[in-house]
Amino acid sequence: MPLSSYLDAFPMLAERVYLHPSAQVIGSVHVGEDSSVWCNAVLRGDVNEIHIGRCSNIQDLTMGHVAHKSSNKPQGAPLVVGDYVTVGHSVILHGCRIGNECLVGMGSIVMDDAVIADRVMLGAGSLVPPGKTLESGFLYMGRPAEKIRPLTDAEIAWLRYSAEHYVRVKDNYLGATTP
């Protein structure tokens, strides 16, 4: 079973969520409607909260975790992923905030208190250091991630398309009929 409690916290799933049987969703995790968590992905909300928005996908081998609350950092660092977000294979998201209609490329790492604004494309293998903010409407790449160029209208439209494609795929896995 991919769902596990931690102390008194148990994951909450909205309607039409798909969890692959090999995924692990632990503790204080909320997954929004029509979202999906794929093969061997881990969302570990043990010492803080994880919120995944609607129509987002957390792809294979992704690790999502949080930073605990402390006297130095009373809120800790929860993990918040917006709506219509595509998180590629083997990504590490740790105590960061991802806006709506973003793509986090395969193998990327986004660290504590980093903020990715709405409509950002983060290239594969990138590293977003702690506390860095990525501005809306741009492609970022590198280690550390640097602003490369503005996104085109077609790329911005593709961000939403990518997430909607994964909604259709998860519907197939759930046995639903999609147009």
User: How does residue 62 score in pLDDT terms, banded at 50, 70 and 90?
Assistant: very high
Residue 1 has pLDDT above 80, yes or no: no
In angstroms, the CA 95 to CA 8 distance is 21
- 109-110 and 57-58 beta bridge pairing: unpaired
H or E element, residue 153: helix 153-174
Reference 108, options 125, 120, 94, 96; nearest CA is 125
Please tell me the pTM assigned to this model: 0.95
The pLDDT value recorded for residue 173 is 94
User: How does residue 57 score in pLDDT terms, banded at 50, 70 and 90?
Assistant: very high
Tens digits of residue pLDDT in 114-159: 999 999 999 999 999 999 999 999 999 999 999 999 999 999 999 9
Residue 78 has pLDDT above 90, yes or no: yes
Residue 176 has pLDDT above 70, yes or no: no
Mean local confidence (pLDDT), 96-110: 98
Contact 105, 125 (CB under 8 A): yes
